[in-house]
Amino acid sequence: MRSDPGHGKTWRMSEPVRSTIIGAGHYVPSKVVTNDDLAKLMTTSDEWIVQRSGIKERRYIEHDDIGASDLALPAAKMAIEHAGLEPKDIDAIIFATLSPDYNFPGSGVLLGHMLGLPGVPALDVRNQCSGFLYSLSVADAWVRAGMYKNVLIAGAEVHSTGIELADRGRDVAVLFGDGAGCAIVSRATDPNQGIKSILLHADGVGAPDLWVECPSSRRIPRLTKEMMDEGRTFPRMQGKQVFRWAVEKMPEVAQAAMDAAKIHVDDIDLFVPHQANMRINQMVGMKLNIPQEKIVHNIEKYGNTTAATIPLGLSEAWREGKCKRGSNILMAAFGAGYTWGGAVLTL
């Protein structure tokens, strides 16, 4: 038996060696921003955005002073309730975001405070579009090691305050939206259930292809008017280059995750890919021979919510009855860093 001094819970180290997702939740702000709305701010069109990305609208925070942690809170409560738990049952928090409320401390501590969880550890993960899968890997290891019982993973982003809503930033600005998705990772209770594989990768060669370069601790001072005037404080992307990598690496890592889990693609019930571009996900689905109806897509409603896309997509799909306990789920992501990953689990 191992006792957790912080929370007074005990469990057997020899009990299940697998973890699984026992609940999911999501939240998006109420403000809908259509492609036509953006066309009033920059030279773009609904036709261009839909054709290139599949996005029709996205959500933005309604007013000042709403951070990633605020979006995560209702998503976390929904996930906790879905899992049949109460906030006090959460033993650890992992918060994946590229748009934390503050440079430091991380958003995880803010979420823990809002949930009323003093003393519960909180870790922020800065792995952009792959942030949820990196977090899942950490949560899986913690649960399997017997270190924590119920781990809350939050993926949440407020992009709308960080993008350049003008012609210079239009290639990036039209893609991103605000939102949150959460998952609770806990011990699997059924021998068939659980996370069967998680594969993670990174290659820093792609760092300048999708980044926010400034403010930077490499610069003295970290932030100058020149940096702001040059737009180096906004995300910049080599879209075609990122696209090429994504359509190669996502199917590769998804297939490797299925191989590691010893599962055939025909036995996958639902594929929950990162939502960066509808065209990317259609190409990935075709390469893997996954029929389109088994692929989760909500990019048309929310755009790219980065670390939130996978838990948000899973939470919606679960509620819509597209998956249930016992379903085999494939997940894959590719994004800034570069970082990418794939996972297979049985709910």
Strands 2-4 and 210-211: unpaired
Q: Where are the beta strands (DSSP E) in 188-231?
A: 194-202, 210-211
304 catalytic residue (yes or no): yes
Residue 332 CB, shortest distance to ligand UT7, in Å, is: 12
Instruction: Using the rule CB under 6 A, give the single segment among 69-77, 80-88, 178-186, 236-244 that binds ligand UT7.
Output: 236-244
| 121, 1 contact by CB (below 8 A) | no
Residue 309 CB, shortest distance to ligand UT7, in Å, is: 8
Using CA atoms, how far residue 197 sits from 13, 303, 317, in Å, is 21, 28, 21
Nearer to ligand UT7, 199 or 278 (CB): 278
With CB atoms as reference, the residue minimizing the distance to ligand UT7 is 239
Q: Which of 103, 240, 266, 321 binds ligand UT7 (CB under 6 A)?
A: 240
274 catalytic residue (yes or no): yes
3-state SS string over 220-250?
CCCCCHHHHHCCCCCCEECHHHHHHHHHHHH
Nearer to ligand UT7, 148 or 334 (CB): 334
Q: Which of 16, 23, 106, 335 binds ligand UT7 (CB under 6 A)?
A: 335
52 binds ligand UT7 (CB under 6 A): yes
Name the DSSP letter for residue 52: H
Residue 95 CB, shortest distance to ligand UT7, in Å, is: 18
Q: Where are the alpha helices (DSSP H) in 152-307?
A: 170-173, 225-229, 239-261, 278-288, 299-302
Q: How far apart, in whole angstroms, are the C-alpha atoms of residue 305 and residue 34?
A: 15
| 323, 270 contact by CB (below 8 A) | yes
246 binds ligand UT7 (CB under 6 A): yes
Cis upstream peptide for 338 (omega within 30°): yes
Nearest to 96 by CA among 131, 67, 142, 133: 131
Site for ligand UT7 in 247-276 (CB under 6 A): 276
Residue 97, CB half-sphere, CA atoms under 13 Å: how many? 37
The site for ligand UT7, by CB under 6 A, has a size of 19
The amino acid at 321: G
Question: Which of 35, 274, 277, 281 does the annotation list as catalytic?
Answer: 274
Name the DSSP letter for residue 176: B
Residue 288 CB, shortest distance to ligand UT7, in Å, is: 17
Q: Is 119 helix (H, G, I), strand (E, B) or coil?
A: coil
Q: Which of 132, 243, 302, 318 binds ligand UT7 (CB under 6 A)?
A: 243
56 binds ligand UT7 (CB under 6 A): no
Nearer to ligand UT7, 136 or 143 (CB): 136
Q: Is 168 helix (H, G, I), strand (E, B) or coil?
A: helix
Residue 276 CB, shortest distance to ligand UT7, in Å, is: 3
Site for ligand UT7 in 169-208 (CB under 6 A): 170-171, 174
Residue 38 CB, shortest distance to ligand UT7, in Å, is: 8
Question: Which residues are part of the catalytic machinery?
Answer: 129, 274, 304
User: Which residues of this protein are in contact with ligand UT7, per CB under 6 A?
Assistant: 44, 48, 52-53, 129, 170-171, 174, 239-240, 242-243, 246, 276-277, 280, 304, 335-336
